[in-house]
Amino acid sequence: MEHSSEVKEMANELGNYKTCVSARSTDKEILKCSQDGGIVTQLFAFALEEGIIDGAIVAGPGEEPWRPQPMVAMSKDELLAARGTKYNISPNVSFIKEATRSFGLDKVGIVGTPCQMQAIRKGMLYPFGWRDVPDKIALALGIFCMENFPYQSIVQLVEDHAGQKLENVSKMNIGKGKFWVYTDRGAVVDLPLKVTHKYEQPGCHVCLDYVANLADISTGSVGSPDGWSTVFVRNAKGETVWTKAVAAGCFETKPIEQVKPGLELVTKLANEKITKNQKTIAGRASFGAGKALRNPYI
């Protein structure tokens, strides 16, 4: 706790953090299919190697193309199979107890969206059904998230709107105000976000966290140049792992102040998300005629 006074009390929208940098993995193999800087894959690979974690819950390949399935990765190969953002729901937290049981992990890594980081921290404080789990969460990596999509929404966006077969898609991305679809044969289709908005998962519209404030380390593309990721190192645990990984040569880093578009854009988008969703929450209070929708925040 002696470090707590050093935690930079930034404006609330970016959460508490100790350091923020722009970074990318130095591992060519990881970068080949990573979403941006390969931060999550590289950190877990390093943590596995160093024994910081015994395994990591990641969004692995599922039964249908681009439909993720939570999996416990216990080797670099398994981590590599889970690279890249899928833009639809992977209930990673559903494996948090299973990882400590069937998989026998004592030190669990988990990657997740901001809401999943909230779920993890709530579960550590209120482990109603997560027996012996709280002390075994060794590394929680959060990813920036504006909203998520149900799988069928991705089918509709890619196959109906973008006119591409999902199994031919090599990468999806949201950036520069558009939803991008890249195919194996080189086609690139972009959809304006105006089209994608209505397909978003409704539960995302009450979320008040953009940059995974409660992760040990959170990362996302926003704020950094193409191929790089913005990284927030948030607490003592995150700092220990990050410092070791950088010292081991896992990452190239640049001060966030020296890259474009930098933290200004992250702050702007975080504020946009929070403001929009606070309005949604306020609207829920008078949604019906004299009837409110439930507010989960107390």
**Residue 5 contacts other proteins per CB under 8 A:** yes
Look at residues 110, 290, 99, 288 and name the one whose alpha carbon lies nearest to residue 215.
110
The smaller minimum CB distance to other proteins, of residues 84 and 262, is found at 84
Shortest spacing between CB 8 and other proteins, in angstroms: 13
The strands making up 108-112's β-sheet, listed across from edge to edge, are 68-73, 55-61, 108-112, 137-143, 217-220, 229-233, 19-25, 251-255
**Residue 131 contacts other proteins per CB under 8 A:** yes
Which DSSP symbol is given to 36?
A: S
55-61 and 108-112 as β-strands: parallel, antiparallel, unpaired? Answer: parallel
- Strand ranges, E, within 28-67: 55-61
Q: Which long-range contacts (CB under 8 A, 24 or more apart) does 155-161 make?
A: 156/199, 157/181, 157/191, 157/195, 157/196, 157/199, 158/66, 161/191, 161/195
**Residue 206 contacts other proteins per CB under 8 A:** yes
**Residue 205 contacts other proteins per CB under 8 A:** yes
Shortest spacing between CB 265 and other proteins, in angstroms: 24
Among 112, 142, 238, 262, binds other proteins (CB under 8 A): 112
**Residue 294 contacts other proteins per CB under 8 A:** yes
Residues 43-72 close enough to bind other proteins by CB under 8 A? 67, 70
**Residue 98 contacts other proteins per CB under 8 A:** yes
Among 11, 63, 77, 129, binds other proteins (CB under 8 A): 129
Q: What residues line the site for other proteins (CB under 8 A)?
A: 1, 4-5, 67, 70, 88-98, 112-113, 115-116, 118-119, 121-135, 148, 150-152, 201-207, 213-214, 235, 293-294, 296-298
